[in-house]
Amino acid sequence: MAPIELTDANFQSEVLESDVPVLVDFWAAWCGPCRAIAPIVTELASEYAGRAKVGKVDVDVNPQTAMQYGVRSIPTLLFFVGGQVRDQMIGSAAKREFQKRLDALVGQTA
């Protein structure tokens, strides 16, 4: 299962109105560390299917959403529950770090 492609247009419905936690990866095609964690993000989308959503925002195509959340460096990963940012990571990390943070949010609701 691939991550959801998030845009300025669908961010409200896919992330802010989601009834499960959402991991949002802010990235760009030219960003080396973004490409490095892309396979991890894809694996997480499959592993957490039904328990959490995993999506990606291309900051070059969707600058409004990136600006709204103060994304200044990429990759930036924001973890949402009930439409609110509950955690964030900046830069690349090991898969277990992403899992640990997602696990802490799965099962939480607004």
Please confirm, yes or no, whether 89 is among the known catalytic residues: no
Cα angle 15, 76, 68 (rounded to 5 degrees) comes to 55
Measure CA of the first residue to CA of the last residue in the chain; give whole Å. 26
What is the full DSSP assignment across 31-71? Answer: -HHHHHHHHHHHHHHHHTTTT-EEEEEETTT-HHHHHHTT-
Please identify which of the residues 31, 57, 59, 78 carries the catalytic annotation: 31
Please confirm, yes or no, whether 34 is among the known catalytic residues: yes
Please identify which of the residues 15, 23, 34, 59 carries the catalytic annotation: 34
Counting every residue written for the chain, the total comes to: 110
List residues with catalytic annotation. 31, 34
